[in-house]
Structure 1
Amino acid sequence: MKRRISTRAGLTLGTALGMAVLAGGAAAQDCTTKVGAVLPTSVDWGRPIAETAQFVVDQVNEAGGVAGCRIEMVLRDTQVDPKVGVDAAKALVDLDGVQVLLGAVSSGVSMPILTSVTVPGKVMQMSCCSSSTAFTTLAEEGKAGGLWFRTFATTGVQAAVGAKVAADQGYKSVAILYKNDDWGQDLGKLIASDFEALGIEVTASVAINDGQPSFRAEVTEAMAGNPDALYLGLYPNEGTAAVREWLSLGGTQNMILANSLKSDEFRDNVGLQYLGNALGTDTASPRVASADAFVERYKARFDSEPNGPGLANSYDATMIALLAMEAAGKDATGEEIAAQVSRVTDPEGTPVTADAEGFAAARQVLADGGSVMYQGATGNVRFDANGDVSAPAVVWSFTESGTEEVQYLSLDEVDGFIASLK
């Protein structure tokens, strides 16, 4: 039976029940359950994503763990490399026996893990950050097995907002440089279509491959049409090299950046003095109390703002996965855990906070046969039949200390703009 109470009452319940369970729950742990994480810890923007996931695990263990067992997150570095990522995922599934896999970040790494490891192994995969629409297609075709979820909105949101930035800035023509992987190909295709829908000429759309000594040929090709602006769907390493080539050849400083370049490494290696006209896009947390609470918890833990890409999404991905494990019970299979995701993100369920107290409260509600409405860092997360979410968005710019918000677009504004493009 579902237990329904008001949001305010739910938050109170989360605190009251949570404190009661915290008083004696942690000491009761006499077993350990492993969850796997395949995240790019060897790159500067990947480490905070992994640290955020571990932060959630620590809070859940403080609340007594999952189904009476302490959670151990076994973390392996993907190096943003599909082969490395698949090998890491196989080790976690075959050797460590995990039934839940967190990750990956890049769509180009998450996709081969999903198709060759988690779906064949019937392991639930929860990604914080993979945005390619190819996952939606795979799910629609029934090839994801109900095992795939992501807390980051699809590439379609970022593409649409990037096109809106170009239109708002009055750019008449744009060149595109995109990473030649699943994510970049998807983003490059979508944003080219959105630019054209707005009457903005795409003078060139050029793929960038990893590991090249120089991107001069690709950058020269992109510059040939003398565009008003450059769109970059790249990661920091190749993004830095490509922008340096672009600037050295006299390219415009008018740039639109995918969220993957929301990186101190990229800013510092290119030089803030060259990025004054650069505007980035990203999905955003809604302006709700649970999102503000995450920021305060993050600052208390890490003594810094959660400014990097994917941090709020990593928090929610990890907490929802662990809640689903709690709902499924001890020794549950990946399929059984995946089946419980809707029960812990139920809009009609008892509201619970995204912290140790809220997890403990959720445990009691679930034990009583109820469902919970998770209120997290990105708001009240809702997955559709394909494991997708939608989200608000922001436009941002670089500052000396990080980034600052230039514009916030609500979920209704994002959805309305995407609808207008069609």
Structure 2
Amino acid sequence: MRKRLAGIVALAAAALTAQTGDAAADCTLPVGIAYPISIDWGKPIAETALWVADMINEAGGVDGCRVDPILRDTQADPRVGVDAARALVDLDGVQLLIGAVASGVTIPIVTSVTVPAGVMQISCCSSTTRLTTIAAEGGTKGLFFRTFATTKVQAAVAAKRAQEAGYESITILYKNDDWGQDIAALAAQMFEGAGIEVRARVAINDAQPSYRAEVVQALGTRPDALYLALYPKEGIAVVREWISLGGTTQMIGANSLKSDEFREAVGGQFLGDFVGTDMSTPRVGSATAFVDAYTARFGSAPSGPGLPNSFDAAAIALLAYHAAGREATGAEIAAKVAMITDPAGEKIDGDVEGFRRAMALLSEGRSISFQGATGAVTFDQYGDVSAPAVFWRFAEDGAIEEAQYVTLEEVTEFIASVE
């Protein structure tokens, strides 16, 4: 773990100290990044955001100032995450915070740190519908955005998979936090709407020495399949217990289990029937370009959760900061997001030349349509997005491979059919 932390801290330092492009050396703007870098799947998410900051700097910087990305570890823990966000806002003076990942971390940051301080926040990966409710009630004050679709979409896709597989019954094991409670309740509604009996919903709490009691409870319901809305740490312990006690290998998992750590610890031989769900990018050129550029940058294709969403969150936020100007408040940055995601604006690619062109247009007061890793992102009045989806599997060689692409139209039609 020390090596992973050292590597990412070095990457952050490089982003700060490198002489990049035309960005002014005597003018820097602090930007907060709060991601779980001490967790295996969190490090690439943070690295992707730092990569965007590098490209923005090479393209000239935010309003001529070099972006100073200040990276703090949330450890996917609400208390640690809030402390990290407070440090970024109170000590580092950021007006823009990129993060967090887990909904259970993002919610307290939004409600107790960024919104009270008037700081804009954008998340790559938080999906709970609770954030939509908070926004609808006026709790985000227009300061919060996310580039990942809500749990409602992922729950619907899980039900679609179960229906297509012919499952008649299912039991849900979920992480007992804001995200897990939300997706478990929505998944239960979607499964039942699809004609699939939900035998039980079993909560999994963090850091228990054993999950045997919960697994035995789930086994007693004798479902055709298991739905797992868990993170890798708990998921590993639960699935190993489940398999050891003779549970079915027919499992559907949320995108949080798209992890090499999960596959390696459980054992690929036990995951042949496992199918995961995730939000996907539309089949457009900008999504393909992201994969190619990411592979060239990091030496392997993006396969973990949230990487294209992290790219788009950082790019949209930093371009909005440029449009608002170096002295902008969080509210002023947030107000410029619409200029970056204007369907009528000039189409802009997510590379150095694209960012340079975008900043020139924005400096002239013209809007753009950013064509990112997840396509042309647009936000609704609550800062939410919609997206297509994908089923994925762990391949025999250990890679994560796409099993089926589900278009946005198919997702929408399925939700309408079960509701």
Q: Same fold (TM over 0.5)?
A: yes
User: Which of 414, 418, 421 is the aligned partner of 2:415?
Assistant: 418
- Equivalent residue, structure 1, for 2:319: 323
Work out the percentage of aligned pairs sharing the same amino acid: 64
SS of equivalent to 1:34: strand
Instruction: Call closer, same or farther: CA 1:364–1:228 in 2, change over 3 Å.
Output: same
1:132-211 to 2 correspondences below 5 Å? 132-211=128-207
Q: What is the distance in 2 between the residues matched to 1:93 and 1:102?
A: 12
- TM-score, with structure 1 as normaliser: 0.93
- Equivalent residue, structure 2, for 1:284: 280
Cα drift, residue 357 of structure 1: 0.8
SS of equivalent to 1:322: helix
User: Which of 261, 264, 267 is the aligned partner of 1:268?
Assistant: 264
- TM-score, with structure 2 as normaliser: 0.94
1:293-332 to 2 correspondences below 5 Å? 293-332=289-328
SS of equivalent to 2:376: coil
User: Which of 44, 49, 53 is the aligned partner of 1:53?
Assistant: 49
Q: What is the distance in 2 between the residues matched to 1:415 and 1:239?
A: 29
- Equivalent residue, structure 1, for 2:405: 408
SS of equivalent to 2:202: strand
- Equivalent residue, structure 1, for 2:362: 366
Cα drift, residue 401 of structure 1: 3.0
Cα drift, residue 28 of structure 1: 3.7
Instruction: Give CA-to-partner distance per residue, 1:294-345, whole Å, 9 cap, x none.
Output: 0111001001010110000000000000000010011100000000001110
- The number of equivalent residue pairs is 399
Q: What is the distance in 1 between the residues matched to 2:56 and 2:21?
A: 11
Q: What is the distance in 2 between the residues matched to 1:421 and 1:286?
A: 23
Cα drift, residue 416 of structure 1: 1.3
- The amino acid across from 1:410 in the alignment is T
Q: What is the distance in 2 between the residues matched to 1:211 and 1:237?
A: 9
User: Which of 78, 83, 95 is the aligned partner of 2:79?
Assistant: 83
- After TM superposition, where is structure 1 displaced by more than 4 Å over at least 4 residues in a row? none
Q: What is the distance in 2 between the residues matched to 1:255 and 1:27?
A: 50
Q: What is the distance in 1 between the residues matched to 2:218 and 2:75?
A: 28
**Preserved contact between residue 29 and residue 64 of structure 1 (Cα < 8 Å):** no
Cα drift, residue 29 of structure 1: 3.9
- Find out whether 1:95 has 2:85 as its counterpart: no
Cα drift, residue 170 of structure 1: 0.6
- The amino acid across from 1:210 in the alignment is D
Q: What is the distance in 2 between the residues matched to 1:402 and 1:117?
A: 38
| Greater relative contact order (Cα < 8 A, sep 6+) | 1
Q: What is the distance in 1 between the residues matched to 2:43 and 2:23?
A: 30
Q: What is the distance in 1 between the residues matched to 2:276 and 2:224?
A: 16
Gaps of 5+ in 1: 1-23
Instruction: Give CA-to-partner distance per residue, 1:168-193, whole Å, 9 cap, x none.
Output: 11111101000000000000000001
Gaps of 5+ in 2: 1-19
- The amino acid across from 1:91 in the alignment is A
SS of equivalent to 1:101: strand
Cα drift, residue 198 of structure 1: 1.0
